[in-house]
Structure 1
Amino acid sequence: MLVDILTELALDGKWKSDTGFKSGYLKVIEQKLAEKLPTAGLNTTNIDSRIKTLKKHSMEINEC
């Protein structure tokens, strides 16, 4: 779900900038996840942590 939402935001020119996403994108992700997974109770801290983990794993995959 998170990757799908990140992809959706990246394709939407409103949230993408030259260096990544514009400020406030975590709140938008939180709202979209709450719609799709209402019982998950994820907040921006959880989402930011998961994004950092995804970045780390994708860097490891790119190195192989």
Structure 2
Amino acid sequence: MSTDISACQGGLGPLSIALGLLGVSDEGVTPKKWQNIQPEGGIEALLELNRSNRSDDELAAAKRAYLDQMRK
């Protein structure tokens, strides 16, 4: 089975379509805050970090620190 989810509306996104297909009410389901949203200018900053000469561990720590700073 496949379903077009490109026109999903509301805070539940594709979950609302899945619940509808299953015949389950979405009443009482609370949407979560979007978690995977890039901060303004985030792509450029992360690309710059990727292009640096850092080790894998240093790169991971730098990305984590950058994203933590943007969430504040």
One fold, TM greater than 0.5?
A: no
More helix, by proportion = 1
TM score, norm. by length of structure 1 = 0.29
Name the structure, 1 or 2, with higher relative contact order (CA <8 Å, separation 6+).
Answer: 1
The structure whose Rg is larger is 2
More strand, by proportion = 1
TM score, norm. by length of structure 2 = 0.27
